[in-house]
Structure 1
Amino acid sequence: MIHIENLSFGYKKDKLLFHNLNLILSRGHIYGLLGKNGAGKSSLLKNMVGLAFPQQGTCLVQGYTSSDRLPSMLENVFFLPEEFHVPSLSTKKYVHYTAPFYPSFDYDAFYSYLKEFEVPSEAVLSDLSFGQQKKMMIAFGLAANTDLLVLDEPTNGLDIPSKVQFRKLIAGALTLERCIVISTHQVRDLDSLIDTVVILHDREVVVNQEMDTIAEKLLFTTVPTSQGVQVLYAEESVRGITAILPNPEGAYSRVDLELLFNGIISGNKEITQILNTSHYAPTI
């Protein structure tokens, strides 16, 4: 679906956000793109959808060079940025004017999503709150039925019930033909939704792994003390020491995305080495 090869990008030639970045994203997955503030998550998404242009390297979406922004590519890509503008139109008029750009748009599904999000279909968009506007745009993106759906910080501005609905609708929208990419700094909003995590750090993608693979290679647990235990990363918590350990025996644990992210950006290269070693195999 998306093939990025040796991509270098920056808003200034002497200050690159990415250098020789490589990334492959496939159909049938919900990817969570994580990174510190300023790491370039939004810029990477804009390169994917052709709103930013690499200084070097290539970004292909379904075989198209994304920066060419050909209609044959754009009709099958929906991008919801973190900040967006809505016109002073009713929802129905907005759909009337905009939906024809997406040949597979499902009108019935759109109004069903609006109902689940409790967004009035007759309201003028500019009169809605930011959270209501965002829910409308998420509903539109899902109903567009594009093979590539890219969402930048989609849960910002949503209340807790709306976040639950968001996760439910996104999970239900995934098909074998669809690729969904979600960028967020609110890690816990994604941990029950995504199946693959992509971590952007120090101008490159340091992790691109399925959650099941991470669970096979690393053990997330609570230990009474770190003494005598090979701890890759640990944090103090009310339950004791929450830690990431090597998992040579393949014991099952639930991936703690926040702990994993903190461990990686702390500079612990052993975690990424374990995750990126293809020949690693747990002993069963």
Structure 2
Amino acid sequence: MPPTPSPHPSPGIELVRDFSLEMTGKDNAALAEATGAVPPGTRINVTFLGNENLSMRLAAAVAVRAAGFEPIPHISARRLASVAELDEFLQALTGDARVHEVFAVGGDPASPLGPFPDALSLITSGRLQAHGISAVAIGGYPEGHPDIDEATLWEAMEAKSKALQEAGLDGSIITQFGFDTAPVLSWLQELRRRGIWYPVRIGVPGPAGIKRLLTYARRFGVSSSAGIAHKYGFSLANLLGTAGPDRFITDLAAALDPAVHGEVGLHFYTFGGLQATAHWVAEFEAGP
């Protein structure tokens, strides 16, 4: 039975509507379990990880489409060995999974495996449009990147934005997850000051076990449980429980100004917990 809506809704309720989710090529079973809890048509990103292959990524995108959701496959530029590999993947995605939009990222390898060193090279290759892709999401880093300085990040953002316009592709931005609203708001303001007005989905960690959350967070500069607790808003007495991003979302929604920050939504990094995240969103919308 769905939660009963609160008569005094949180300022974050509007922000969580039309949320998007993320899954890996290994999460098909989790997707099946979550299908009844996730609103039809929800955008679900499918990752492009090094321990997955084309068939796994394709099967996940097909499963997303078959379940009534919108698959947004990631394409990791540096993991592609050739143009032929990109073409094979795109042909399969646009055929079997009826994909219209992808998320172009550089990827983790220190050296490219093939001809694509970054997301910009994917956008300018012409291969996306050749296979019927009409929209491309690109990455944003409000709290910085561990391996790329801020000036370079902004140069890349401006170059990708310009390339999307020149290619006639619709654009959007999905950010890495964070724990603090202040850098998110500052980053959004700077993005708009630079004339980039694409819709932005702010990355948010879904309700995840604290140990798992801490493991992921260390990759992005927040290395202590005390630091996580301070920014994320949960009690250190409950470190073995589950944290939800209530405070982050409520604070962010209260501070957003469309005239300054533009169109903003949320993208949940689920850490495999698709069903838990969907249930959490429903409960959040219902209010306390």
* TM-score, with structure 2 as normaliser: 0.35
Higher helix share: 2
Higher strand share: 1
Instruction: Name which structure has the greater RCO, CA cutoff 8 Å, separation 6+.
Output: 2
Larger radius of gyration: 1
* TM-score, with structure 1 as normaliser: 0.35
